[in-house]
Chain A
Amino acid sequence: MLDLQGCAAAPAGFSFSRGAGWGMTRSMDRMSRIADTDGGRAVLAELLRRTADGDQAALRQLYQRTSAKLYGICLRALGNDGEAQDVLQEVYVTVWKKASRFDAAKASAITWLSVLARNKAIDFLRARRAAPDDLDAAAEVADDSRSALEVLEQSQDSARLAHCLEELDERARAMIRSAFFDGATYPELAERASVPLPTMKSWIRRGLLRLRGCLER
């Protein structure tokens, strides 16, 4: 499970794509990587910790450093400015309330925030579509804490995920990406691809299990 390869790779872009590892890997991470991430990772984790203590100045700094990324995620899922802004606001209000749920030993701060933003955007999408049978919005009203505040990263990086996605057949890859970025559900994906629901499910499931196999190799 320990993936030292992931440490060696130096993908461009966001610091969260370099994995948080476990045990030894993680301490190696710390020592060797903080420099090449501009200390970004540690700084964000510290800002989240201070936010959890009720420090609004820390929230502001966190916002300054991460809002463009999270806004990009919301925009991609929702497709329009107004809604993306509403969701982004909600994301930071949730961060304000729930920052104590972040565990730096399990995931990087930017990953945690990105997952939160994606989930909030999808909550909003589902509420907008108001499918009576799928009221994530209702879940929202009752409980914020349940939706996706738990994130566990292993030492993997974007290059490795990209490689493993490459190993999938194109169909499965496209569908998984679509689900990830647009928040599409099984029925929506099946409709878009004009295939029966069970067909879509089996494409994606097989793809996901293969993906896991490759990432854990």
Chain B
Amino acid sequence: MTEKREPNEDRAALAAEHALRLLTGDYRRRAEMLESSDPAFAEDVARWRGRTAPLFGEVEPVDPPQILWDRVERATAGDGRGSNVVILQRRVGLWRAATASMSALAAALALVLLLQPGRVPLSQQPQQQAPASPPLVAMLGDQQRQMKVVASWDPNAQQLVLAVAGDMPADPRHSHQLWVIPADGKPRSLGTMDSARQMHMRLADALAELLQQGATIAISVEPRGGSPTGAPTGPVVASGALSRA
């Protein structure tokens, strides 16, 4: 782009473009990231939604068919008394359960890794890792979601073990993809996840050396088969930092 703009002009324009939903690709992702991380930007976007809203006045109302309310009613009646509070409590309950089982799981996994360092045949262990490194564990999740994942990394065997607790949202059009985000902040793909409760992956040297204490392990939602660009394109549904078990 050749036009020169002040950085704050650029941001103002980005907020407007994002509110109108003109953006695609990296621009859209940048705007989404800013919207969730920068309150001033988010407010700007919200203000643009308000600014353009009078255009809705031009839209002619059209009565939807009668049966549509029945569909809405059915879709919302399933929640019983259905209050948000009830839903929220259910979520919190699930989350607590998942967290509890996850902590137990993490402990168990860490134990397994600590007590059985020799599970992987010695011949497959890389030479340069000679001094045994301690296993690392990352708890992936956040409070809103019902899926929790524990990732355990055994640097000596270069083996990553994933255990899923709770519901991993399934959708035939999308895959979950696993990433490591090392100190340089650039996500590297560790591959897509299958629907199994447990997964073992042995990582190549180049990836293995990125799994250091403090590196983030994240799961994003991607088109079926994985990100087409090699970088995360969808939202991150769970993430956590690697730390000593």
Contact = CB atoms under 8 A, between A and B. Distances in A.
6 contacts: A13-B57, A75-B62, A139-B234, A141-B221, A154-B50, A157-B54
B215 interface: no
B3 A202 contact: yes
A198 B169 contact: no
B93 interface: no
| Max chain A C-beta neighbours (<10 A), residue from B47, B51, B81, B222 | B51
A96 interface: yes
B87 to A, nearest CB: 7
Interface string A125-142: 000000111110111011
Given A73-B59, A209-B13, A54 B85 contact: yes
Contacts of A181: 55, 58-59
B126 interface: no
B167 interface: no
A195 B32 CA distance: 27
A67 B83 contact: no
B68 A161 contact: no
A114 B53 contact: yes
Contact of B32 (A131, A141, A146, A180): A146
Contacts of A13: 57
A64 B203 CA distance: 57
Given A150-B49, A215-B51, 12 more contacts: A17-B53, A69-B59, A132-B228, A133-B24, A142-B234, A145-B144, A151-B53, A152-B46, A156-B54, A161-B52, A184-B22, A209-B16
B221 A93 contact: no
Task: Tell me the interface secondary structure of chain B in the complex.
Answer: helix
A37 interface: no
Contacts of B56: 14, 16-17, 69, 73, 110-111, 114, 118
B24 A186 contact: yes
B49 A115 contact: yes
A159 B233 CA distance: 40
- What 5 A-B pairs are tightest by C-beta distance, nearest first? A54-B83, A68-B61, A138-B234, A153-B50, A158-B54
A154 to B, nearest CB: 6
B173 interface: yes
A75 B61 CA distance: 10
B20 A179 contact: yes
Nearest to A92: B72
B64 A115 contact: no
Given A179-B20, A205-B17, A67 B85 contact: no
